[in-house]
Amino acid sequence: RDDVGQPKSLAAAAAARRIHPRLKTRALTKKVAGETEDVFDHDFWQGQHVVLNALDNLQARRYVDAQCVRHGVGLIDSGTLGAKGSTQPCVPALTETYGNGAEDAPEGDAIALCTIHSFPNRLEHVVHWARDVVFKSEFQDKPASVRELAEAAAAGPDRLRRVAADIAEGGAEAATRRLRDLAEEVQLLADAKIVGAPDAAQAEAHAARVLVRWAAQLFHGLYVGAVDKILEEHPADEVTEDGEKFWNGDRIMPAPLAAAGADADMHRGFVLAAAALKARALGVDCGAHAL
């Protein structure tokens, strides 16, 4: 968890030293690509006995594979394509190269999760984040977990046990995260309900206030808190071991959004839309109260 947001080379070097304290490591944070062949040149590749890939997009993996083929260096490729993973050993003049085996790989899925969460630099990155990370989590998965729990409780103990087994199946960390999300969603639903309201209009107004407050907190968490955390881990003046600024090239330094200002109407629209979507997903009636 401490490695989240850190360059993978630094995290890998630190992990390797924890396993073998006498191991000598050198972490390079410069991008490995055609434009950095002044650093990763012929001598660099000839000096390697084997290359262990941990890359997260097809373009980079194909480039490293091509360099290994050109210089006769063995490659063990491992990486991700979205949520999928793969490992492939490539032995010079003996096995298929990664580039030959990856010709049919889907380019459209090749967006690294760390890029989506921390270092987006293209429009499709933020669209992917908004759709698959924010929308799916907040307005599909979490409300669905509440409905599943309610249905299981109504069906009886056996169904509840199956739900509990399904949650535990992903391991302790994933189960803890799912239970926390479920508890927060149930609490939100409970907060939105008012017991003993004199009329429906008052109950609807109360639910609207609760969900707008939740949506405002969501906005702050996504566009202020998360950005502050990234900038705390990587300050604006951070310099890599190579003496270059951390925030350059494909790494675009984010800035937290202010509640007021030129985009205030858009921010308000986000909050109201999020509250309305959550109300619909949870089956909460807010009437016509500003949603």
Amino acid at 289: H
Q: Which of 68, 90, 114, 286 is catalytic?
A: 114
- 114 carries an active-site annotation: yes
Please check whether residue 71 is in contact with residue 46, taking contact to mean a CB–CB distance below 8 angstroms.
yes
Q: Cα(186)–Cα(184) distance, rounded to whole angstroms?
A: 6
Q: Which ranges constitute the DSSP H helices of the chain?
A: 8-19, 42-46, 58-71, 98-101, 113-117, 123-128, 136, 142-155, 157-168, 172-192, 200-220, 226-233, 264-282
Residue 257 token pair: 């959004």
Beta bridge partners, 85, equal 80
Closest CA to 98 of 70, 127, 63: 63
Catalytic residue numbers, as ranges: 114
